[in-house]
Amino acid sequence: MEKVQFSELNLSPEILRAVEDMGFEEATVIQTQSIPLVMAGKDVTGHSQTGTGKTAAFGIPAIERTDKQNPAVQTLVLCPTRELAVQASEEIRRYAKYKPGIRILPIYGGQPIERQIRELKKGVHIVIGTPGRVMDHMRRGTLRVGGVRLMVLDEADEMLNMGFREDVETILKDVPAERQTILFSATMSPEILALTRKYQKNPQLIKVVHKQLTVPLIEQYYYEIPRSKKDKALSRLIDMYNPKLSLVFCNTKRKVDEVAGNLQAMGYSADALHGDMSQASRDRVMNAFRNGTVDVLVATDVAARGIDVEDIEAVFNYDVPQDEEYYVHRIGRTGRAGRTGRAHTFVSGRREIYALKDIQRYTSAGITRQQVPTLSDVEETKTYMIAEDIKRVLDEGDVGKYTKVVDQLMEDEYTSVDIASALLKMILGSERAEPQEDVFDGSTGEAGMARLFMNVGRRDGVRPGDIVGAIAGETGIHGKLIGTIDVYDKYTFVEVPQDHAREVLHAMKDVKIKGRRTNIQPARAKRS
C-alpha cells in the first residue's frame, strides 16, 4: 500500500491544520494503513519498526474520538520507558493543538507522583504511561480506568523484554472488556501473539514490509549528538569533507527552512526545497543546485523525489527518517555513476538509536559510529587541501606576475617561508570563524547555569550590557538571572539558568546585536 496525503484520511480540519504546522507532507505506510482502521473502531496489531510514525497512527484517532465533555480517561497508552512516554505525549499534544480542551498527561517513575495526582484529579482524557507507574496510580485509586475506550500497547515487545508482562496483563484485565485494543510491536514473538489472542477481538494485522536494498559504494556513518548541536556538527562535517554538492534531509518543511537559514547565516551557499514552495521556486533552486551556484540543498523526502544529480558527494540525514526505505532512497542520491559517496546520520535520543538499528537490518552495509570532527581536525584538513591546491597551481605554472610581489617583500627582509606562512594564515583565518573551544565536549557553567557561546565580541562593539539586554528583551528573563559574561574579540560566553537555556537558544537564534546576526549554541565545559 502506497503512502497518501493526510488530507486523504478523512481527518478533521483541526488535525490537518496541526499536521500542516508540523510540516509533514504525507502519512507513512503504518499511518496510512492504521488510521482508518483505528478510526473505525477495529482492534489492530501493527508489526512495524521504531521510527515509522506509530504515535500518529494511534494518537490522531485517539484525539479525534475524544469526548471533551466527558472528564474520564478515555485513552490509555502504555510505553516501555519514561523517555518514550514523554515523547509520545509531546507528539500527541502537537496533533491536538487546535482541539482545545483535550487534556493529555504522561505518567512515569522519576517524577513526583503528587504532581501527577494533582493533574489526574483535574480530569485527563488521554494518559500515556509506563506500566509500573500506571499500576501504582491504579492501586492508589488516582487513575480510574473504567471509562477507557481505547487501549494502546506501544512497543509491546520491549515491554515484555523488560519484564512488564505481569503488569501489562493486570492493566488489561482491569480496563473494560468493551474496548478497542491497539498493539504495536517490532517483532511478532509467541508471547506477543499470545497477548493478541487473549486481549484483542479479531485484530486487523498490519505488517509494514520493507525492501532489502544495498548501497555498497556509499560509506555510511552516524553521530550521537544532542539536537541543539546538529547545526554545528553539520558545518563541521561539510568543512571537513568539502563535498562538491551535498543533500541535507529533514523530516519536516519547517525544519528544512530552519536548517537552510542557519547554513546561510553561517556563510554556506545553501537553499531549501519542500512542498510548500511554488513550482517556479523549486525549479529555480534545482537549477542553482545542478549548476553549483547552490552547493548544499536542504530538502524533505517528498520534495527530493526525482533529484538525479551526479555530483552529489555527501548526504546528511539531519533527522533520522521515519521510514527505513526513505533511508535507502536518501543515501542513494550519492555514489551515482560508479562513484563513491558518504552518508552521515545524526542520532539524538534512545528512540532514534532504536530506529537506526532497524535501518541497519534493512541495509547490507554497516553504519559506523563516528565522533564529530574537532576544530583541530577541520583545520588540519583545510591546511592539507590548501597545500594540495598550491601544488596544483605550481605544477600548472604561469605564476610569474606574482613573483614580483614576493621579491618586493623579500627586499624588506621577509623570508619566503614568512611570506608563505602569512598567506596561509590569511586564507585559513578568513574561513568561517569558530570559538577556540570545542562545543562538542559538553556544556556546563556554574551550578544550575548553562554556558552558551555567541559569535559576537569586542570587535563588533559588543559589551556585557548588550548581551544582557538582548537576552532579556527576546526572552523576558530578568537581567539579574543572567550569570557571568566573558566578552572576547570575536566571540562571547554567557551563562544563563539551566532551566531557561533551551528558551534562550531558541529565542536568540539569528537575533542581531550591534547590527550583526548572532549564532548562539551550547559551549563546551570549562577547563578546571
pLDDT of residue 126: 97
CATH class of 218-374: alpha beta
169 burial level (CB within 10 Å; 0-12, 13-18, 19+): middle
Phi, psi (rounded to 5 degrees) for 273: -145, 115
- CA nearest 178: which of 204, 147, 220? 147
- CA nearest 62: which of 52, 74, 51? 74
Note the pLDDT tens digit of each residue in 60-84. 999 999 999 999 999 999 998 887 8
pLDDT of residue 524: 58
pLDDT exceeds cutoff 60 at 248: yes
CB neighbours (10 Å) of residue 405? 10
> Do residues 38 and 70 touch, judged by C-beta distance below 8 A?
no
Q: What is the CA radius of gyration of the chain?
A: 27
pLDDT of residue 338: 57
Residue 351 identity? R
CA 440 remoteness from chain centre: 17
Three-class SS of 240-265: HHCCCEEEEECCCHHHHHHHHHHHHH
Q: Which residue carries 536548517 as its cell?
A: 259
Q: With pLDDT > 90 as the criterion, what percentage of the chain qualifies?
A: 34
pLDDT of residue 1: 54
pLDDT of residue 386: 78
Mean pLDDT of 45-50: 78
The highest-confidence range among 95-109, 328-342, 405-419, 505-519, by mean pLDDT, is 95-109
pLDDT of residue 30: 87
Mean pLDDT of 285-310: 83
Q: Decide if 218-374 and 439-522 have a common fold.
A: no
- First-last CA distance in the chain: 58
CATH class of 6-207: alpha beta
Q: What's the count of helices (H) and strands (E) in the chain, helices before strands? A: 19, 20
Q: How far is the CA of 396 from the CAs of 128, 392, 403, 421, 424, in angstroms?
A: 67, 6, 15, 21, 20
Distance of alpha carbon 435 from alpha carbon 488, whole angstroms: 10
pLDDT of residue 210: 55
pLDDT exceeds cutoff 80 at 303: no
Domain positions in the chain are 6-207, 218-374, 376-416, 439-522
pLDDT of residue 325: 72
CATH topology (fold) of 439-522: Alpha-Beta Plaits (3.30.70)
pLDDT of residue 433: 46
Residue 311 identity? D
Q: How far is the CA of 294 from the CAs of 263, 288, 297, in angstroms?
A: 12, 5, 7
CB neighbours (10 Å) of residue 317? 25
pLDDT of residue 479: 73
Q: With pLDDT > 70 as the criterion, what percentage of the chain qualifies?
A: 90
By three-state DSSP, how is residue 2 classified? coil
Phi, psi (rounded to 5 degrees) for 32: -60, -40
Q: Which residue carries 485494543 as its cell?
A: 181
pLDDT of residue 441: 45
Average pLDDT, the chain: 84
Q: Which of 31-35, 36-40, 317-321, 512-516 has the lowest mean pLDDT?
A: 512-516
Three-class SS of 343-388: EEEEECCHHHHHHHHHHHHCECCCCEECCCCCHHHHHHHHHHHHHH
Three-class SS of 153-205: ECCHHHHHHCCCHHHHHHHHHHCCCCCEEEEEECCCCHHHHHHHHHHCCCCEE
Q: Residue 365 — very low, low, confident or very high, per pLDDT cuts 50/70/90? A: low
Burial 459-487 (b: 16+ CB within 10 A, else e): ebebeeebbbebbeeebebeeeebeebeb
Distance of alpha carbon 144 from alpha carbon 517, whole angstroms: 53
Locate 437 and state its grid cell.
573551544
Query: Where is pLDDT greater, at 292 or 307?
Result: 292
